[in-house]
Amino acid sequence: MSGRRAASRSPVTFAQTPGVADAQTQRAIDVLTRAVQALQSTAPSHVIRGSGEPEGVVVAPAGTLYVNSDGGANATLWVKESGDGAEGWVSK
């Protein structure tokens, strides 16, 4: 051994998961919870894949991305810029 000690970090527990008595399992749940929270804070709210243009067809909240598998110039990536219904999609 090199004599170095691994950095110790105190575990962070978000909340005891009901039915989990094993500390190792709880730590794994905590790590996964942190990973999901990190992804949610950096990822778009929604990404939808489909074929054809979404305007007038796909209902989603503003901020949603739509990837058209049919593709084409100015028809592959769409962004829902307004509304909560099926209108408000803009091709990018």
> What confidence score (pLDDT) does residue 46 get?
85
> What confidence score (pLDDT) does residue 20 get?
64
- For the chain, give every domain's residue range: 45-92
Separation of alpha carbons 50 and 62, rounded Å: 17
Residues in the chain where the model's pLDDT stays below 70: 1-17, 19-21, 39-45
pTM: 0.52
> What confidence score (pLDDT) does residue 45 get?
64
Q: With beta carbons less than 8 A apart as the criterion, state whether 30 and 44 touch.
A: no
